[in-house]
Amino acid sequence: MARKAKVNRKTKETSINVEVNLDGSGSYKIETKIGFLNHMLEQLSKHSLIDLKIAAKGDTHIDLHHTTEDTGIAIGECIKKALRSSKGIRRYGHALIPMDETLTRVTMDVSNRPYLIWKVKLKVEKLGEMDTELFKEWFQAFSQAAGITLHVENVYGDNSHHIIESCYKGLARSLREALEIDKRIKNKIPSTKGTL
């Protein structure tokens, strides 16, 4: 069965349509009306090999908070929906991502127990038009909606663009590992409880 899903999230603040194919090739079509967020979500798709379509509209005339957060929620919900029972997945994933002077570690457990540890400090208040505090909001929304325990730690780095991009690439590579079907357990839930 194809691991694909669609989610339509509509509130008074945002309207977001997301489609994912967990077993894709990393193709994407992304429009959030926020240039830097588009760039990060393109990285997420490309390096996870998850096909990703996103069309988001929001109250960006106020600020970028609602669109950023709700995009994280919608993507997380869509991935969780595409996983269905999570049978056969490797469940755990990790990545160490270097980007020039920067090194970031991302680890995850696709456990249906959402939790975010965020150890990332940025020296600037904005990247592009985005307030840098919004990146934690995106990762928090994503991990909660997807049901993922997610630890993101920038080990070192100076350039804020490199730091954030390495976080998204680390998320991508961790997802690629954790969501991959393990042929040795392809019809089983990876838990002694029998459910995630």
Q: Helices 133-146 & 160-179, crossing angle to 10 degrees?
A: 10
Partners of 17 in the β-ladder: 8, 55
Residue 69 pLDDT > 80, yes or no? Answer: yes
pLDDT at 144 over 80: yes
> How far is Cα 130 from Cα 87, in angstroms, rounded to an integer?
37
Residue 177 burial (C-beta neighbours within 10 Å; 0-12, 13-18, 19+):
middle
pLDDT tens per residue, range 74-131: 999 999 999 998 999 999 999 999 999 999 999 999 999 999 999 999 999 999 999 9
Please check the confidence at residue 36 and state whether its pLDDT lies above 90: yes
Its pTM stands at: 0.96
User: Is 90 exceeded by the pLDDT of residue 17?
Assistant: yes
CATH architecture of structural domain 4-185: 2-Layer Sandwich (3.30)
Please check whether residue 41 is in contact with residue 54, taking contact to mean a CB–CB distance below 8 angstroms.
Answer: yes
For residues 104 and 163, is the Cβ–Cβ distance under 8 A?
A: yes
pLDDT band at 148 (very low <50, low <70, confident <90, very high): very high
**CA nearest to 154, candidates 121, 130, 127:** 121
